[in-house]
Copies of this chain bind each other. A is one copy, B any other.
Amino acid sequence: MANSIWKEYPKMGKRIDHTTEFIHNSLDMRNEAIAKMIRDLTSGGKMLRPAFFLLFSGFGPDKKTDDELVPLAASLELLHVATLIHDDVIDDSPLRRSKPTIHTKYGKRNAIYAGDYLFTVYFEIISRHLPEQSYILKNALSMKKILIGELDQLLINFNIHATAKMYFREIAGKTAELFSLSTMMGALVSDGDHELVARSKNIGHDIGMSFQIIDDILDFGDSRDTGKPNFEDLRNGVYSLPYILGLQDNNQALINVLSKNDLSSDDINEAARIVVNEGYLDQAKDIARTFSKHASERIDRLPRGRNRTALKKVVQELLDRID
């Protein structure tokens, strides 16, 4: 069943269900244990990338049928889940969507191949279903940007001189690229003109940027209450925007804490306290709001109709998570 974010949009909920079904029917390995874990990973999520693709495919003049669109929607989620599986091995994350990760349960061997396998299923679907070879190339270039983003990220870990600009470049690759691929592909397959395609791509980018900043902030958790903020990320030298804003502001107290070799729980709490009290968290929220606002303004210039209304609401709902 589709995620609750779609409950106000039963038609989209149904399309999401079809997309999930298509994904499950595409898994043709004999290794049933791994297949089951992939099915779990592709069930009940927000499926934002397929949803954005489906919404944007309604804006061009060529209205494709869901039989044509659903496989492509599925491909975007498969690409996303493939990167998630590899990220989880890399970060040694024990849980994903409240379930044990593949590498925890079946070892990194299975997890790496499972991610690779999903890349190939994605690749198969777009080779089969995209109407033009040049669109396949656009997918390849997006995927490359995502990977270059991941590899670049490793260069800025543990970097107390990291700047907001570096962070934006990193999440532009890691997250926003796949959102803008999804919205752009929607515009392309519906035969949108150059302006619609460019606008769709920009909207996807802004939604993605806002989404990742918000996600990092949510990871920050109820730091004011529980005192257990994004422990893992900080310990691994991965700084989210609030920390980077503090570092960039030359906040000496924060620099002192984050320069330590091995962060204790107290250090982590102290860093979080600084970031909240000195207003860096609020600044980060404002930046997320600005990206969403830009997206929203551009959405207003898309063709009027149910797709546009749904899109605006979803962008607002994603933003509301930080309020």
A residues with CB within 8 A of B: 28-31, 34, 83, 86, 89-90, 108-110, 112-117, 119-121, 123-124, 127-128, 130, 132-133, 136-137, 139-141, 143-144, 146-148, 150-152, 154-155
Contact among B29, B90, B137, B143 with A112 in the assembled complex (CB-CB below 8 Å): B90
- For A152, list chain B residues within 8 Å (CB): 29-31
Point out which of A83, A110, A154 has the most chain B C-beta atoms below 10 A from its C-beta.
Answer: A154
- For A89, list chain B residues within 8 Å (CB): 108, 112
- For A130, list chain B residues within 8 Å (CB): 133
Extra pairs beyond A120-B140, A123-B140, A127-B136 (4, CB < 8 Å): A119-B119, A120-B143, A120-B146, A121-B144
- For A123, list chain B residues within 8 Å (CB): 123, 139-140, 143-144
Bound Cα distance A155, B29 (Å): 11
Bound Cα distance A128, B29 (Å): 29
Closest to A125 in B: B140
Bound Cα distance A236, B141 (Å): 37
- For A140, list chain B residues within 8 Å (CB): 120, 123-124, 127-128
Contact among B83, B116, B137 with A147 in the assembled complex (CB-CB below 8 Å): B116
Contact among B108, B117, B141 with A90 in the assembled complex (CB-CB below 8 Å): B108
A29 and B148: CB pair below 8 A?
yes
